[in-house]
Amino acid sequence: MKGKQFLTDQSILRRIFLFLFPFLILLIFAFLQILNLMIFQAEKFKTQADSNRILKEKVFPPRGLIFDTNDEIIVDNFIRQDLVVTPNFIEDYSLYLSLLSELVEIEKNTLEQVFYKKLSEIKPFQSFTLLRDLNDRQLAKVKLNFKDLPGTEINSSFSRNVVYGESSGAVIGYLGFASKQDILINPNLKNFNDQQVGLLGIEKEFDDELRGTVGYRYSEKDARGGVLDVLSVEPSTKGKNIKLSIDVELQDKLYKEFRGRKGALIAIEPDTGFIRAMISSPSYNPNFFNNFKTEEIKLLFQNKNSPLFNRAISGQYPPASTLKPFIGLVALEEDVITWQEKILDEGEFFVEGDKRPYTGWKEGGHGEVNMEKAIAESSDVYFYNIAYDLTVNSIAPFLKKFGFGKSSDLFINESQGILPDKKWKLGQKGEFWFKGDTINMGIGQGYILATPLQIALAYSALINGGKLISPRIVQSIEGEETKFVSEKIEIKDIQNLEYIKESLISVVESNTGTAKNIFDPKLRIAGKTGTAQVKSILDDNKYQEIRENVLLRDHALFVGYGPVGDPSIVVVAIVENGESGSLVAAPIVQKAINLYEQ
């Protein structure tokens, strides 16, 4: 009986063990899992938990200030209030946006477009700016309803202010948001994907210096996104201050001289390369872009007069008669003609085998003219003759030495102009070069095009002894001066430069000079007028008919420098469709030189 009882007890124990075995396995597994969570993966889950309550947020620096050459502030910063959201703390996006729409008085659809676009671009627990530059009314209503707006903060940020607005728009440029392409080109912009960066002008060209570096703030937040504590801060670095060579008072006064007319002006020191004024008219107020003025921006892009286009560096114009001194100089250098040698100008020039005459601007011509008189009175026939003898093979390489046909690299969006030759015409037009092309080029017409800046640099080289200077518009960055660079132009006989300068004085001081109307013995200036054809006129009888269309009228040009004897400034003015270089452009240049010398 005892043996049987023993067997029965063993069976019962075995059954109990088999019954409890699965539970034992589960218990061991649970123990190991608890051990794994508490010891082996404790740090991982601690970090994950902290990420839910400790957020890393960017701290953006103020951009560097921009000063003029006299240390007057041109661009500064002011504080604005932005609404920043962290979507992870918002349970119902639609409900949130509906309430916010009522408070800030902005349509929900508008908020949704921004919200969901930003949402698709961020990582979990990242914040983004939903509304910028809240006004006092919006700010007050949002703060009163913070309890109903989880994940919402009001952050102070910096906004840009261009003090002189429209008159300095072409120089300063404006801010905006970097595109994906911009970020690919400059990966440093990635940290500023929610902040404005320079998109045009000085703001773009020197964005790396002006932008500064991003800092970070580590904040502990509650379940609704409210800040419990700021744990630590990595400070941002303020952008560098920039001092321009521009005289902002001169810039402002000269911009007003254009009185809404289209055109451009460059005032540059021939010995330093410093640009003292750069005008493009019409212009725009950069603050429209800097401060999100949507309607005003839309109107700017719709404006047919292209106010955003910088005519001073990107406008390409026929240099017209302002090119004649260079044609004269290369003719002297190549011994095609002497300084005193005369040519009879009867108002027309004929090429053998071509019955069509190349006419001068003055009916009947200028009579017998040497080079000084030809430049002073702007004799077309004289320059037809010497251009014909020179050929384009002599003219184009010589003009290139003076900067025509190439960018000075002052700005990224600067135009190169067009310096045509046989190869250029065959490639661009699919045609051979003709003698008539050279003849037109001799008076600055035809295919040749130049920017106001190129013309200013070329004339600077004429009067500074043959140095092609690199223009500078930034004088210093955070106190460190920029470097002056120039390239010596090889001139066979320096006396030829002196001859050309004598003729440029005669343009203003001779009784028959084309700019005699601006002669002032108190401040002597020299220069050259130009009238650039917008539309070629083969029949003089059609000129009046063409004039009826204002946009087809000739451009008025004048290049001036002064004071004579010791010139300190070169000024180029182009007034589109202004017709008369002497009556329209020359007085602007004269005023610029007078203002600069005051």
576: amino acid identity, one letter: E
Contact 381, 345 (CB under 8 A): yes
Contact 322, 557 (CB under 8 A): yes
Tell me, what's the pLDDT at 70?
A: 97
Per-domain residue ranges for the chain? 55-244, 248-299+310-597
22: amino acid identity, one letter: P
The CATH number given to 55-244 is 3.90.1310.10
533: amino acid identity, one letter: Q
Residues of the chain by 3-state class (helix, strand, coil), percent to 5? 45, 20, 35
Query: Cβ neighbours of residue 387 under 8 Å, at least 6 residues apart?
Result: 327, 395, 438, 439, 441, 442, 443
DSSP 472: B
Tell me, what's the pLDDT at 185?
A: 86
List 154's β-bridge partners, or say none.
83
Tell me, what's the pLDDT at 47?
A: 47
Neighbour-count burial of 585, counting CB atoms closer than 10 A to its CB (0-12 exposed, 13-18 middle, 19+ buried): buried
List 177's β-bridge partners, or say none.
196
Tell me, what's the pLDDT at 178?
A: 87
- Give the pLDDT means over successive 10-residue stretches in the chain (598 positions): 54 65 68 61 50 72 96 95 90 93 94 91 84 93 92 89 94 91 85 86 96 86 69 88 97 94 97 97 95 90 95 96 98 96 94 87 94 97 96 96 96 95 95 95 96 98 96 96 95 95 97 96 96 68 62 90 96 93 95 94
Residue 78, H or E segment: strand 73-85
Distances (CA, A) of 52 to 57, 123, 215, 504: 13, 13, 21, 75
- Looking at domain 248-299+310-597, its CATH class is alpha beta
Q: Where are the alpha helices (DSSP H) in 430-571?
A: 435-441, 452-463, 494-509, 543-547
Contact 121, 114 (CB under 8 A): no
Report the relative pairing of strands 569-575 and 555-562 from DSSP bridges.
antiparallel
Tell me, what's the pLDDT at 191?
A: 80
- Predicted TM-score (pTM) of this structure: 0.85
Residue listed under structure tokens 């508490």? 38
